[in-house]
Copies of this chain bind each other. A is one copy, B any other.
Amino acid sequence: MIDVAADYCVVGAGFAGLAAALRLDQAGRSVVLLEARDRVGGRTFTEVRDDGSWIDRGGAWIGPGQDRIAALMSEFGVKSYKQYVAGEAMMLVDGKQCRYRGTVPRSLSPWASLNLGVAMLELIAMCKRIPLEEPWTAKKAARWDKISVGHWLDRNVRSGAAREILETAIGGTYTSDTSEPSLLYVLHQMASGGGPSFVFGVEGGAQDSRIVGGMGAVYGPVAEAVGDRLHLSQPVDHIGQDDDGVTVRSPDMTVRARRVIVAVPIAIAGHIRYEPMLPTDRMLLHQRMPSGAIAKIHVVYDEPFWRADGLSGQSAAPGTAAPVTIDACTDTGRPGVMCVIAEGPDARRLCAAEPTERRARVVDALAGRFGPKANSPVDYIEQIWTRERYSGGGMISHAPPGVLTGFGPALRRPCGRIHWAGTETSAVMCGWVDGAVRSGERAAAEAMRQEARAG
């Protein structure tokens, strides 16, 4: 058993915990950062291949307005490049695969286009009425929190094709069936990024750019800066607090500190044993923000052959073994990397298959969509986030109906000497890597402020 003492302890070395530890360290505080896995990055995870190319097995994109991840990148001299969008996208609409440019297929019927347009305008209007810091105080919060976003779609989108597009987009974001997240939560999460156009957008939106070197090019140097204050393979299972400080324990380590920042996904934050028990609302909140299911699979080819065929690589075909695809090449465009994303029920179906069968089905689906060249991958890298014990699923936790209005204030409110970080606690860019960075910086500032007050 290793005993360590520090001013602050941070639990979880995803972007939230890394940012918190970095800022505490830069402010001259001593800090210990404990990470359950044998790697940092949390729900981001960059693999560098032998040829120097990289794969972002988790969170990959950045976009305009994401100033805090941008600040970290500039601090460590990391560059970005644009997501490849040239060429046509493909979408399975009413059972037919269509190629199109722009945001939606031209082949969409006027009725479907109208439906889609009106629904988007309505979502945009509702998002504007969400106070970011306290979405539960929105004038219609109670009403919007009483229904699932799926029910809202049922009521407001009558065209089957439009419905399918929105189901895929919204269900995908929460990696759950749309019957699960509350409308208020979805509005809040979208509003935190600037609205639905940002969330669903590629160029100028949440998928605008990728990072040269991948997310690891950012979290790597941050982890290096934290240095030997970072301890890997230390799954924290106990957090005690008393009048003088906190005691944070993993099976191998005990850290004594003034305060602790818990920066783990909210869906698994309740697995830690807190002594004394957390306040009622926080304890109940831990039971109420489930994660979804997501599998992110990268299929590597000698070159991005789809580009030569006039395709962007973007496609949507819910229910297939490759429900969503997008070009994931590095800035050099070589090798060709196709990213396949399965979310929610699609992901759970895909993950139930044996690995060899899954690979066969995914490659087969790609060949059906992009032609026989897709049959000859040189590499296949799959990341089943739902099988990651220390993510508890992926991408993010959502709030079902009633939770944000009932328990929202508990999301960020410190519990004595325990402060909460993680992208789900961020009022701005909630759910993105940028939100994680913000949440870590906010928690660090909050902990130092409260400590200064107490001292």
Q: Is A40 part of the contact surface with B, judged by Cβ < 8 Å?
A: no
B180:A402 contact, CB within 8 angstroms: yes
Chain B residues positioned under 8 Å from A287 (CB to CB): 267, 287, 289-291, 392-393
Q: Write 24 A-B pairs (CB below 8 A) sorted by A numbering.
A: A145-B179, A146-B148, A146-B150, A146-B154, A146-B179, A147-B147, A148-B401, A151-B151, A177-B406, A180-B401, A180-B402, A180-B403, A271-B273, A277-B387, A280-B348, A280-B352, A283-B393, A284-B290, A284-B293, A284-B348, A287-B291, A287-B392, A400-B401, A401-B401
Contact with B along A377-395 (1 / 0, CB 8 A): 0000000001101001100
The residue in A288, A345, A348 that gathers the most chain B C-beta atoms within 10 A of its C-beta is: A288
Chain B residues positioned under 8 Å from A401 (CB to CB): 148, 150-151, 179-180, 400-401
User: Whose C-beta in chain B lies nearest to the C-beta of A388?
Assistant: B277
Chain B residues positioned under 8 Å from A351 (CB to CB): 280
Contact with B along A388-427 (1 / 0, CB 8 A): 0100110000001111011000000000000000000000
A:182-210 near B, CB below 8 Å: none
Instruction: Give the complex CA separation of A225 and B351 in angstroms.
Output: 44
Q: Is A176 part of the contact surface with B, judged by Cβ < 8 Å?
A: yes
A179:B270 contact, CB within 8 angstroms: no
Q: In angstroms, how far is the closest chain B Cβ from the Cβ of A403?
A: 7
B283:A386 contact, CB within 8 angstroms: yes
Instruction: Give the complex CA separation of A147 and B151 in angstroms.
Output: 7
Instruction: Give the complex CA separation of A352 and B279 in angstroms.
Output: 9
User: Whose C-beta in chain B lies nearest to the C-beta of A351?
Assistant: B280
Q: How many residues of A contact B (CB 8 A)?
A: 45
Q: Is A75 part of the contact surface with B, judged by Cβ < 8 Å?
A: no
Chain B residues positioned under 8 Å from A392 (CB to CB): 283, 287
Identical copies of this chain, number: 2
Chain B residues positioned under 8 Å from A267 (CB to CB): 287
A280:B387 contact, CB within 8 angstroms: yes
Chain B residues positioned under 8 Å from A393 (CB to CB): 283-284, 287
The residue in A142, A180, A271 that gathers the most chain B C-beta atoms within 10 A of its C-beta is: A180
Q: Is A357 part of the contact surface with B, judged by Cβ < 8 Å?
A: no
Contact with B along A122-147 (1 / 0, CB 8 A): 00000000000000000000100111
B402:A176 contact, CB within 8 angstroms: yes
Of B271, B280, B288, the contact of A290 (CB 8 Å cutoff): B288
Extra pairs beyond A148-B148, A179-B406, A267-B287 (8, CB < 8 Å): A146-B150, A147-B147, A277-B389, A283-B392, A283-B393, A284-B293, A287-B289, A287-B393
Instruction: Give the complex CA separation of A146 and B179 in angstroms.
Output: 5
Chain B residues positioned under 8 Å from A180 (CB to CB): 400-403, 406
Chain B residues positioned under 8 Å from A348 (CB to CB): 280-281, 284
A:249-285 near B, CB below 8 Å: 267, 270-271, 273, 277, 280-281, 283-284
Which 5 pairs of residues, A with B, have the shortest CB-CB distance? A179-B402, A400-B400, A287-B290, A180-B402, A146-B179
Q: In angstroms, how far is the closest chain B Cβ from the Cβ of A117?
A: 24
Q: In angstroms, how far is the closest chain B Cβ from the Cβ of A447?
A: 24
The residue in A148, A292, A351, A400 that gathers the most chain B C-beta atoms within 10 A of its C-beta is: A400
B280:A386 contact, CB within 8 angstroms: yes
The residue in A176, A387, A402 that gathers the most chain B C-beta atoms within 10 A of its C-beta is: A402
Q: In angstroms, how far is the closest chain B Cβ from the Cβ of A233?
A: 15
Chain B residues positioned under 8 Å from A178 (CB to CB): 402
Instruction: Give the complex CA separation of A178 and B402 in angstroms.
Output: 8
Q: In angstroms, how far is the closest chain B Cβ from the Cβ of A151?
A: 5
Chain B residues positioned under 8 Å from A145 (CB to CB): 179
Chain B residues positioned under 8 Å from A147 (CB to CB): 147-148, 151
User: Whose C-beta in chain B lies nearest to the C-beta of A285?
Assistant: B290
A402:B148 contact, CB within 8 angstroms: yes
